[in-house]
Amino acid sequence: MRRIIIAIDGYVATGKSTTARGVAARLNYLHIDSGAMYRALAWHLLEKGIRTAEEAAIQEVLQDFAIHLEREGQEMVVHVGDRRLEEELRRPDVASFASVISALPAVREKLVSEQRRLGRGGGIVMDGRDIGTVVFPEAELKVFMVAELEARARRRYEELRQRGYDVTLEEVKAEIAERDRRDETRPISPLRRAPDAQILDTTHLSIPQQIEQVLAWAHVRIYAPQPS
């Protein structure tokens, strides 16, 4: 059976990572959350006191930025140096800075080459912003996830409150809208739907419904007859 590449891109809080994780579990594929890699670099820079997109300083840090992903079940957990990162990556300031630094060419070059290395050979579900357009333009299945801002803000608000963050719905909505704007308007690898991507609007869908829809599309590709 063919082990394909599934690229899932889309807006903040449309359920990309949760859907990707569920699809990977059902297909026995690896799930790679590319956003976690941008967040890991953002976290590392903040730790070093770098809080703005100072290109020269960031380039210097990138030279010996040791990011590696370790397999835990079907997940790839991000490590920077000898530190395993998980909860740190969910911090709103880390998410927001990830969106700022992800506009820098040096940052994209480094992380995109790492993502391509990880995805070689297929059998992966990778989610992000440019997976179907730049990282794996040859992916057998591309999905572009969208949802109304109101629904996305509410989901992210509930998730952050559950994690103990003291935020308001209005703050979350403003932060999401700002990240969307930055991700869509950056000159390099902006958030765009690949022309051959399936659109998945999750405004009124539950997570299991989203997973089932992506699996249905995936099955068509996995079982497609191969040219002999």
Point out which residues bind ligand DC (CB under 6 A): 12, 34-35, 38-39, 95, 98-99, 102, 128-131, 179, 183
- What are the two backbone dihedrals, phi and then psi, of residue 159, each rounded to the nearest 5 degrees? -65, -45
Of the two residues 178 and 219, which places its CB atom closer to ligand DC in the complex? 178
CB 210 within 8 A of CB 15: yes
| Nearest alpha-carbon partner for 125 in 217, 13, 223 | 217
CB of 107 to ligand DC, least distance (A): 8
Q: Which is nearer to ligand DC, 182 or 221 (CB)?
A: 182
CA-CA distance, 14 to 18, in Å (whole number)? Answer: 9
Residue 141: CB minimum distance to ligand DC, A: 16
- What's the rounded Cα separation, in Å, for the pair 97 and 92? 9
CB atoms within 10 A of CB 177: 14
Least separation in angstroms between CB 34 and ligand DC: 4
Instruction: Specify the residue, 75 or 222, whose C-beta has the smaller distance to ligand DC.
Output: 75
Task: Report the nearest approach of ligand DC to the CB of residue 115 (Å).
Answer: 7
Cβ atoms within 10 Å, residue 138: 8
Residue 8, beta-bridge partner list: 127, 143
Report the C-alpha gap between 192 and 160 in whole angstroms. 26
Say how far apart CA 190 and CA 130 lie, in whole Å: 7
Query: For residues 18 and 222, which CB has a smaller minimum distance to ligand DC in the complex?
Result: 18
Tell me how far, at minimum, the Cβ of 75 lies from ligand DC, in Å.
Answer: 14
Q: Which is nearer to ligand DC, 2 or 51 (CB)?
A: 51
